[in-house]
């Protein structure tokens, strides 16, 4: 588990949001909530994220309130047509 702001790129799952009040409400309105998948498009300040099919800009300060984990890599298996 790491903070969203500490990740340079990749696909992540939101585990929790620390704090309360208007900033937490704003994050939830952007679609950033527990269980949601997030893709970091561009690190920096602001960070560019893809959430629920939309791109959003998020300050590193707000991103530091979000605890995430990396999504596991999806392994592909051969299709039935490839089996001899």
62 located within any domain: yes
68 located within any domain: yes
57 located within any domain: yes
State residue 41 phi and psi, 5-degree precision: -85, -40
Other beta carbons within 10 angstroms of residue 29's beta carbon come to 10
6 located within any domain: yes
Structural domain total, the chain? 1
pTM of the model: 0.81
Q: Return the CATH number at 27.
A: 2.30.30.90
pLDDT at 74: 66
Phi-psi region of 81 (alpha: psi -120 to 50; beta: other; left: phi over 0): alpha
Residues in the chain predicted with pLDDT less than 70, given as ranges, are: 74-84
pLDDT digits (tens, 9 = 90+) for 35-57: 999 999 999 999 999 999 999 99
């Amino acid at each position: 588990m790491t903070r969203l702001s500490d990740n340079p790129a990749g696909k992540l799952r939101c585990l929790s949001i620390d704090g309360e009040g208007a900033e937490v409400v704003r994050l939830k309105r952007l679609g950033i909530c527990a269980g949601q998948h997030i893709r970091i498009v561009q690190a920096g300040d602001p960070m560019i994220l893809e959430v629920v099919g939309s791109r959003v800009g998020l300050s590193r300060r707000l991103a530091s309130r979000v605890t995430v984990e990396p999504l596991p890599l999806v392994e592909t298996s051969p299709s039935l047509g490839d089996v001899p």
